[in-house]
Amino acid sequence: MIRRKNENSEKSFLIYSLSILAFYFFLIFVFSDYTDNWHGFGFVLILFLTSVFFDIARTKTFEFTGGKVETSAVFIVNIFTAALLNPLEASLVAASSAITFKIIKLFFGERYPISRYVFNFSQIAVSTFLTSLLFHRLSGTNTFQNILAILLSTVVYFLINNVFVFFGVYILTKGDIRETASKVLSGPVTSMALMIPVIAVIYILYQYIGFVAIPVSLAAVLSIQVGNYYRYKYYEAKLEHLKLLAKSLEEKDEYTRGHSEKVAELAKKMAKRLGFSPKMVERIYNAAFLHDIGKIGIPDHILKKPTILSKEEMMMVKNHPIMGEDILREVDIFNNRESKWVRHHHERWDGKGYPDGLRGEEIPLPSRIISVADVYEALTSDRPYRKALSHEEAKEIMMKNMKGTVLDPRLVDLLFEILEKEKEEEET
């Protein structure tokens, strides 16, 4: 059933992509008067290669179920391509550079369905064509008028491009429309807000210095973007290192193998349903994945002990949230928020938890999410002292004995609502 849904989504997406491509040819036919005045090959080639280079130096990836959306400073190159070339010329340069980037990725093992190539070419071609058309209609001999024209064209490019992407992602995922909009638009909105003043400055320099201002300015922007790219990769590597530490800790014990990853997935689902932004969902996921990282300082014989722990041993175990906080506090990408969430994931709704005895809403919401996910995963997994409980048994324990005392009652209800909805979908 799921496979059939995916196939239907792919077919719908291909039809959608071909429709955009047909619209592109329609634009070329209707606005043929704007497709003359072709520029020299060398000039066009410089813009094309610059666009490809910016595409390669991407800084951030926004993930969603079934794929990912990327954004980069190629946005600037496409805007200036639209302003400097005629609509047909500009659209072909921008769209061809995007396809070239996809082909380069193909050589590195990243394969895409043909619909992705059609979509990327057509949506960028249409976005750039309309942006170029608008700019050339609004611009004139006045510098201030031209600056307003390029800024308005920037906003229009952003709107057209991201509307196409939004509907494409929605067709592929069939997800919640608000969630899809949040995932697709949150990154690009920030990107546009940062790029608008940059584009304005570059265009002013272009008006007073000439074409040389564009490659020089783009080189400066590119150097910043490449720096951001490697900084992001460095942070990503540090995070992966911590996740590997968490996994290696679990691998020592067959009973807890995969625990952190399962807790993180449950926490992610809950965070999404609560309406957190994609960035916040990712942060909660990472904190949940690393919630037990503090156990790295606890001897194995205590962690694997099948009998009741002594008072001293229990004190060591209860100290692991603090140790986890200390470890994560040293990681600059977490900004101390994730470390606090890990510290408080063993607090109780009634205030009888540890390490600080927080109660109710005093406990950070991400900590409460992790706590609910952690308890459910622990109950439904084998432990040295008992076999895994079934979903129904875990639900009964959490509803009767933990809801409103150990765990946030609203989040307990939310967890089982999510799990039971998933079960219904699998059965249908």
CATH at residue 92:
1.10.1760.20
More confident: 53 or 134: 134
For position 410, what pLDDT does the model report? 96
DSSP code per residue over 278-342: HHHHHHHHHHHHTTTGGGGGS-HHHHT--SPPPHHHHHHHHTHHHHHHHHHHT-GGGTTHHHHHH
pLDDT-above-70 percentage for the chain: 83
Average pLDDT of the chain is 81
Whether residue 83 is found in the same domain as residue 179 = yes
Q: Is residue 109 part of a domain?
A: yes
> Is the dihedral angle over the CA atoms 84, 86, 89, 91 positive or is it negative?
positive
pLDDT band at 399 (very low <50, low <70, confident <90, very high): very high
Which of 26-30, 42-46, 154-158, 160-164 comes out lowest in average pLDDT?
Answer: 42-46
Q: Please name the residue that has the structure tokens 């460095």.
A: 234
Residue 240 domain-assigned (yes or no): no
For residue range 308-364, what is the model confidence (pLDDT) as tens digits? 788 888 888 888 899 888 888 877 667 678 899 999 999 999 999 999 999 999 999
Q: Give yes or no for residue 5 having a pLDDT over 70.
A: no
| Residue percentage of the chain with pLDDT more than 90 | 28
**Whether residues 216 and 360 fall in one domain:** no
Give residue 99's pLDDT. 84
Per-residue pLDDT at 125 exceeds 60: yes
Question: What would the pLDDT profile of 214-242 be if each residue is shown by its tens digit?
Answer: 778 877 777 776 776 677 777 777 777 77
| pLDDT the model gives residue 206 | 83
**pLDDT tier at 254, thresholds 50, 70, 90:** low
Residue 1 confidence (pLDDT): 44
Q: Running DSSP on this structure, what letter comes out for residue 58?
A: -
In a domain, 247, yes or no: no
Q: How far apart are CA 255 and CA 39, in angstroms?
A: 67
Q: What range does the domain containing 223 cover?
A: 2-235
Please give the structure tokens belonging to residue 277: 């932004």
Asked if residue 243 is part of any domain, the answer here is: no
Distance CA 412, CA 182 (A): 25
Same domain? 208 vs 263 = no
Inside any domain, residue 245:
no
CA 296 to chain centroid: 29
242 lies in some domain: no
Residue 30, pLDDT score: 87
- The confidence band for 162, taking pLDDT boundaries of 50, 70 and 90, is confident
Q: Please give the pLDDT value at position 7.
A: 67
**How many structural domains comprise the chain?**
2
**Residue 301 CA from chain centroid, whole number:** 39
DSSP secondary structure letter of residue 355: S
Q: Which of 185, 208, 235 is the last residue of a domain?
A: 235
**Taking the C-alpha atoms of 86, 92, 97 and 102 in order, what is their torsion angle to the nearest 10 degrees?**
160
Domain boundary among 204, 235, 266: 235
One DSSP character per residue, 155-224 reads: HHHHHHHHHHHHHHHHHHH---HHHHHHHHHHHHHHHHHHHHHHHHHHHHHHHHH-TTHHHHHHHHHHHH
Instruction: Give yes or no for residue 87 having a pLDDT over 70.
Output: yes
327: Cβ contacts below 8 Å, ≥ 6 apart: 242, 293, 294, 296, 339
Question: Are 269 and 153 members of one domain?
Answer: no
- By the 8 A CB rule, do 200 and 150 touch? yes
Q: What is the pLDDT of residue 285?
A: 92
Question: Is 149 among the domain residues?
Answer: yes
Mean pLDDT of 404-413: 95
Mean pLDDT (whole number) for 48-71: 55
Same domain as 331, residue 202: no
DSSP string, 365-419: HHHHHHHHHHHHHHHTS-BTTBPPPPHHHHHHHIIIIIBTTTB-HHHHHHHHHHH
* pLDDT for res 343: 94
Look at residue 187 in the predicted model and tell me its pLDDT. 65
168 touches 123 (CB < 8 A): yes
Regarding whether 275 and 148 lie in a shared domain, the answer is no
Q: Same domain, yes or no, for 51 and 165?
A: yes
What is the pLDDT confidence band of residue 257, given thresholds at 50, 70 and 90?
low
Hey, what are 344's tokens?
């408080």
List CB contacts of 305: < 8 A, sequence separation 6 or more. 313, 384
pLDDT given at position 260:
86
Q: Give the pTM.
A: 0.61
Q: How far apart are the first and last CA of the chain?
A: 8
Are 204 and 319 contained in the same domain?
no
Mean pLDDT computed over 281-302: 85
Give the domain-ending residue among 203, 235, 267: 235
How far is residue 273's CA from residue 420's CA, in Å, rounded to a whole number?
14
Q: Within this chain, do residues 188 and 268 fall inside the same structural domain, yes or no?
A: no
Over residues 23-28, the mean pLDDT reads 92
* Predicted local confidence at residue 346, as pLDDT: 94
- What is the Cα–Cα distance from 291 to 373, expressed in whole angstroms? 11
Output the domain CATH number for residue 420.
Answer: 1.10.3210.10
Judged by DSSP in three states, 425 sits in: helix
Structure tokens at 372: 């609910």
Please give the pLDDT value at position 6: 58
Q: Which two tokens stand for residue 41?
A: 């090959």
Would residue 46 count as lying in a domain? yes
- 388 and 315 belong to one structural domain: yes
**Residue 207 and residue 141 in one domain:** yes
Q: Same domain, yes or no, for 71 and 118?
A: yes
